[in-house]
Amino acid sequence: MEKTIKTKTKKPFIFYSRLYLQVLTGLKAVNIEQLLKIIRDVPGSVIYYHTHRFLQQHIYLNPEPPNDFAYWVSDVLGEDELAEMLASIDTVQFADIRSLREEIIKTIEQYIKKKPSVLKRRADEDEAFHFIKAVSFIFTTGHKAHDLSEFMEILKIITVDAIYFHVFEARLRLKQANENDFSYWIRTSVKNPELARKISQLDPYTHTIEDLRKTIIRLVESRLKK
Amino acid sequence: MSKKEDMQDTDLSQYSKSATAKIHDYEQFVGKAMVDNLRLLADRLKGKVIQNINSTAVGGGVAEILIRMIPLLHELGVDARWDVIKGGEQFFEVTKKIHNLLHGRLDPIGKHDFDIFMQTSAVNIREIDTYGDIMFIHDPQPIALIKKRALKKSSKWIWRCHVDVSKPDPEVWSFLKKFIVKYDASVFSAPNFSQRLPIPQMLISPSIDPLSDKNIELPQKAIDMVLKKYNIHKDKPIITQISRFDYLKDPVGVIQAYRLVKKYIDCQLILAGGTATDDPESMKVLEEVKTSAAQDKDIHILLLPSGSNIEINALQRASDVVIQKSLKEGFGLTVTEALWKGKPVVASAVGGIPLQIKHKYSGMLCHTIEGAAFAIKQLLNSPEYAKQLGSNAREHVRLNFLLTRHIKDYLLLFLSLYHQNDIINL
């Protein structure tokens, strides 16, 4: 194992980053029926934006605020029980946006059945839910790690957007809920399955991105010290 | 005390940073890696000329942002330029009407006004050289320049709307829409400003500059100097609203909220801002505010001349709670400024304010005078909670509303014009 840590890997880890531009769809909802209908119809990039936006825009908060739908249902419609149900959808279990969208729809539909009075709730125009999509820009940061030591040093200096890309977007790109780019590289190139397992098991949705950075650095550091 | 020392004790200009900041100066706020990202994005725009066009070279929010942004774009290697349209008094009277009507205010407008607008536009279309690869047109005044796009078919045109158009006057919007639909993309500052349009609508929030006089860190001495200047003692908690004296900012409502708080907590209120000299209504509002304040010595009404940036900065920093009880708001940059200073803010859930404040996470949103008073009481009675909100607020602004994020969004916007997909590999 000692050998694999110090040896340069054949395939270096290339650090990418992802930035995004917010595009207004012009669609808005002022009640739960409208919200449900639009959630059914909009492109996946809109669902992705509203379930992941908080992670990048509120990285300082721990615990994170929930997804946009839960926040709006609670703070604007005042429907706390539904908000709690939407907030507790375990995003980490879904390896694609299609199944995440289905779970959100199912949760709202079941709630309406159980409590039809929610249909009477209506937001002011000023507090309507506006649907937004993200256009993602992916680019290489110019940083490359050939071994764990370099990997750790680079991890310390890259932006949260880069960490976001390799942890959150990777899950959807790789279509594996329990894998991210870091764990994949450590498993396949560094050949350290134990460290890879520890990193892949981190639930990114219950950490701030800065926490994730620190935790991964700590895990790599303790591996290097062994 | 010598005359020189005496001057130093009263001269606020010693805290002013008039020199233009360099891009690396922002690393202290957003980190080197973020500034490196800006360089990487700027690199992808090599060879493109970005031509900004607006209606004024000085004064007003657009000019203020371009003055600070253009040198930074140059430093990043982006060939950004800036031209200004011409217009006479009549033209700008019409554009002021258009502005008011877009904001939802009543202001009579007729065919004659639209004719004046088109006559001046025709002169600008004739005289302004539109040489940019990317034409970045700010606000309604130069909007008709889109008629020149046929001259350079490869050019891309963006219309940047800095105005709150959540409830625009239908006649004015329909007049402007004829031009807007011919652009490649539009940009709005808040989600509720978006309209049904056949062209892409980007959401790009405005920003504050942490190195400007309004936001730069101030030593306690400077804050004390400003308090002394306005005869304010820090013996009671300070609640402050900074905004011009305008009905839409509801200064009388702020006094009512303060009075509800004052029943339980001995505090003081600062209402500070300017009046527009060409706006008789603002003088009327100021008089009403003075009447409402009556003889209460704990209400400080400060009429600040334009350019009182260090003073505003110091008043915000001296406050225990900052309030923005607007009835209608554009983006609400005074809120951004207070959040950046780590202040607990109570603000109405209007315009761009909900983008900046997540209720109970980074500030408190309110809808009524009573709600505002309740939130202020909570914050004054729970300083630890207020501190946590303030700390979250500063971090939220650091990540989302500083000038560097604004530059990043503009660079992405320019790049997006050359791609069609939702995922773009640069």
Instruction: Return the minimum-mean-pLDDT range out of A92-101, B63-72, B222-231.
Output: A92-101
**Chain A residue at shortest CA distance from B194:** A26
Query: What residues make up the domain containing A99?
Result: 20-133
Rounded average pLDDT over B141-154: 94
Backbone angle region of A131, left / alpha / beta, with phi > 0 → left and psi within -120 to 50 → alpha: beta
Residue at token pair 């500083």: B402
* Subunit contact B396:A57, Cβ cutoff 8 A: yes
**Chain B residue at shortest CA distance from A25:** B201
Residue predicted with more confidence, A202 or A110: A110
* Subunit contact B33:A19, Cβ cutoff 8 A: no
Chain A residue numbers with beta carbons less than 8 Å from the beta carbon of B204 are 21-22
Interface test mutation site (partner A, options B197, B364, B401, B424, max chain A beta carbons within 10 A): B424
Chain B residue numbers with beta carbons less than 8 Å from the beta carbon of A21 are 202, 204, 409, 412-413, 416
What is the location of CATH 3.40.50.2000 in chain B? 23-207+403-416, 220-400
**Chain B residue at shortest CA distance from A141:** B37
* Subunit contact A26:B426, Cβ cutoff 8 A: no
Residue A15 lies in a domain: no
Do A116 and A164 fall within a single domain?
no
Cross-chain CB nearest to B422 (options A26, A45, A60): A45
Interface test mutation site (partner A, options B194, B356, B366, max chain A beta carbons within 10 A): B194
Contact indicator for B49, B100 with CB cutoff of 8 Å: no
Do A125 and A28 fall within a single domain?
yes
Do A28 and A92 fall within a single domain?
yes
Do A43 and A103 fall within a single domain?
yes
Cross-chain CB nearest to B359 (options A75, A134, A135): A75
Q: What band does A4 get if pLDDT is binned at 50, 70 and 90?
A: very low
**Per-residue pLDDT tens over the stretch B20-53:** 789 999 999 999 999 999 999 999 999 999 999 9
CA distances from B141 to B84, B120, B144, B177 (A): 10, 10, 8, 13
- The domain boundary residue, chosen from A87, A106, A133: A133
CA distances from B382 to B25, B320, B321 (A): 35, 11, 12
* Subunit contact B354:A23, Cβ cutoff 8 A: no
**Chain B residue at shortest CA distance from A142:** B40
Residue A108 lies in a domain: yes
Residue A212 lies in a domain: yes
Cis peptide before A43 (omega within 30 of 0): no
Chain B: nearest CA to A1, how far in angstroms? 32
Do A99 and A31 fall within a single domain?
yes
Do A29 and A111 fall within a single domain?
yes
**Chain A residue at shortest CA distance from B204:** A22
Do A52 and A128 fall within a single domain?
yes
**Per-residue pLDDT tens over the stretch B157-177:** 999 998 888 889 999 999 999
Query: Residue B280: phi, psi to the nearest 5?
Result: -60, -25
Do A110 and A182 fall within a single domain?
no
* Subunit contact A136:B422, Cβ cutoff 8 A: yes
ipTM above 0.90, yes or no: no
* Subunit contact A130:B194, Cβ cutoff 8 A: yes
Q: Is a pLDDT exceeding 90 seen at residue A179?
A: no
Q: What band does A1 get if pLDDT is binned at 50, 70 and 90?
A: very low
Residue A5 lies in a domain: no
- The domain boundary residue, chosen from A133, A166, A182: A133
Cα-atom radius of gyration of chain A, to the nearest Å? 20
Rounded average pLDDT over B374-386: 97
Do A168 and A105 fall within a single domain?
no
Rounded average pLDDT over B65-87: 95
The pLDDT value recorded for residue A60 is 56
Q: Name the most confidently modeled range: A165-179, A210-224, B255-269.
A: B255-269
Number of C-alpha atoms within 13 angstroms, CB side, residue B278?
A: 3
Residue A11 lies in a domain: no
Do A121 and A48 fall within a single domain?
yes
**CATH number, domain B23-207+403-416, options 2.40.160.20, 3.40.1280.10, 3.40.228.10, 3.40.50.2000:** 3.40.50.2000
Which pairs with CB-CB distance under 8 Å and at least 24 residues apart come from B282-291?
B282/B244, B282/B245, B282/B246, B283/B245, B285/B245, B285/B246, B285/B247, B285/B251, B286/B245, B288/B252, B289/B245, B289/B251, B289/B252, B289/B255
Rounded average pLDDT over B374-395: 96
- Domain B220-400 fold is Rossmann fold (3.40.50)
Q: Is a pLDDT exceeding 60 seen at residue A108?
A: yes
Encoded tokens for B408 = 């990043």
Q: Is a pLDDT exceeding 80 seen at residue A184?
A: yes
How many structural domains is chain A composed of?
Answer: 2
Interface test mutation site (partner B, options A18, A21, A166, max chain B beta carbons within 10 A): A21
Interface test mutation site (partner A, options B356, B365, B422, B424, max chain A beta carbons within 10 A): B422
Q: What band does A58 get if pLDDT is binned at 50, 70 and 90?
A: low
- The domain boundary residue, chosen from A74, A102, A133: A133
Q: Is a pLDDT exceeding 50 seen at residue A71?
A: yes
The pLDDT value recorded for residue A2 is 44
pTM for this prediction: 0.88
Q: Is a pLDDT exceeding 90 seen at residue B3?
A: no
* Subunit contact A139:B32, Cβ cutoff 8 A: no
* Subunit contact B359:A26, Cβ cutoff 8 A: no
Chain A residue numbers with beta carbons less than 8 Å from the beta carbon of B37 are 17, 19, 141, 159, 161
The pLDDT value recorded for residue B331 is 87
Q: Is a pLDDT exceeding 90 seen at residue B376?
A: yes
Encoded tokens for A190 = 């560094």
Chain A: nearest CA to B349, how far in angstroms? 8
